[in-house]
Amino acid sequence: MNPSWQKGYSTKSVYLQTPFHQGIGYVNLRINAAMIQVQNVSKHYGELVAVDNISFQLEKGDVLGFLGPNGAGKTTTMRIITGYMPPTKGSVYISDIDVFEDPQAAKSHIGYLPENPPLYEDMVVREYLDFVADIKQVPNREKNGRIHYVMEKCGIVNVGKRIIGHLSKGYKQRVGIAQALINDPEVLVLDEPTSGLDPMQIIEIRELIKGLSGERTVILSTHILPEVTMICSKVVIINKGKIVLEESLERLTNKIDGIENILLKTRYWGEEIQEKIISLPNVSDIRLGLSNELIIEPKKGVDIREDLTDLVMQNGWGLLEMRPVVHNLEEVFLRAISTEGN
């Protein structure tokens, strides 16, 4: 372990070094230490910059939705975090261990489900988990217990004696998740865990992942947006190797609420409606919706519904409908990846 203060970079961690059982040594008490720190990480494949100066950090218990279109650099970033390959620039710390200075120590904190589950098709499920437990250096006396636990947790007890190559895709994915959990990792990295599954399997796997978070720090990549709202507590959106948005889901939702647009439908229809509305003090933009309704964007954080009603009443336009339009994540996502470069 290389505590951060010795290396001269800053974390939110506070260290207390206390003599503990005199003569035995020192124990580090970490308070609110970052579990994962990604610092200015870049990865170049020849000319191609797959990951471009990415930084973020996750606390214990965070569930990060790592979102981005195909080719955004999600897999590459995850491979760097898990120590599969080194970054061209930058560094990654897992629980304050530099992944590339002490890979053995860092890797023992991580469970990783790559994009394609890493399965030996000719092995029996239980035998496979036994092997993974061995290479992840699970102590012998805990091994059977761990294997039993992950099989139970992932719902694969009934296929324990089957050959992996004969399992359905959904079951293979479960075995893949089970292998990632075998060493009871503090950090769980899942690369598109629901891709290629049928809708029923997707729901099952999401439930499974939800049940895994809690104490663990989870990074989950996906290009499916609702997945993030369902499972995650934090979102990082990445496009063309760059982070375009980083937010806690809570704040993201608030932010969306704050700039909530108003949909307005009136009986009367005329050019001057738009002009009059845009001249209201708290309206920042107005545009036409799909079926000729007006979408009005208020200034940030201002409720303009009363002003709008008054205006419609005064002019006798005949109010048919007025409601807030809920921004969904999809809109945020599309906006984030389209304003990239600004």
Partner 1 sequence: MKGVYPILKRELRSYFASPLAYVILVVFQLVSAMFFFLNLKGFLHLQFDPSYQLLREELNLNTVIIIPYFDTMSIVLLFIIPLITMRLLADERKSHTAELLFTSPIKLRSIILGKYLAALILLIIMLCLSSLNIVVLMAHGNPDLGVVLSSYLGLLLLGASFLAIGIFASSLSSSQLVAAVIAFGILLLLWLVGASSDTESSIFGYISLISHFKNFGKGIIELKDLAYYLSVIYIGLFLTHTALDSERWR
Ligand X SMILES: Nc1ncnc2c1ncn2[C@@H]1O[C@H](COP(=O)(O)OP(=O)(O)O)[C@@H](O)[C@H]1O
Contacts with ligand X in 168-187 (CB under 6 A)? none
Among 74, 79, 234, 242, binds partner 1 (CB under 8 A): 79
Give yes or no for residue 74 binding ligand X (CB under 6 A).
yes
Number of residues that bind partner 1 (CB under 8 A): 33
Could you tell me if residue 218 is left (phi over 0), alpha (psi between -120 and 50 degrees) or otherwise beta?
beta
Q: Of these partners, partner 1, Mg ion, ligand X, none, which one is at the site of residue 196 (CB under 5 to 8 Å by kind)? A: none
d(C-alpha 280, C-alpha 284), whole Å: 9
Counting contacts by CB under 6 A, is residue 220 touching ligand X?
A: no
Q: Exposure string (b/e) for 17-33, b if CB count within 10 Å is 16 or more?
A: eeeeeeeeeeeeebeeb
Q: Which residue has the tokens 């991580």?
A: 110
Angstrom distance (rounded) from CA 176 to CA 112? 9
Q: Give one DSSP letter per residue of 31-77, joined into a string.
A: ES-EEEEEEEEEEEETTEEEEEEEEEEEETT-EEEEE--TTSSHHHH
Nearest distance from C-beta of residue 102 to partner 1, angstroms: 10
- Measured between alpha carbons, how far is 222 from 240 in angstroms, rounded to an integer? 15
Query: Which parts of 144-183 interact with partner 1 (CB under 8 A)?
Result: 179
Q: Rule CB under 8 A: say whether 84 interacts with partner 1.
A: yes
Helix (H, G, I), strand (E, B) or coil at 221: strand
Which CB atom, from 115 or from 293, has the smaller least distance to Mg ion? 115
Cβ 62 to ligand X shortest distance, Å: 20
Q: Which does 71 bind (CB under 5 to 8 A by kind): ligand X, partner 1, Mg ion, none?
A: ligand X
| Tokens describing residue 112 | 């990783």
Using CB under 6 A, which residues numbered 37 to 66 contact ligand X?
Answer: 45, 48, 50
Q: Site residues (CB under 8 A) for partner 1?
A: 45-46, 79, 82-86, 103-105, 107-108, 110, 112, 114-123, 127, 131-132, 134-137, 179
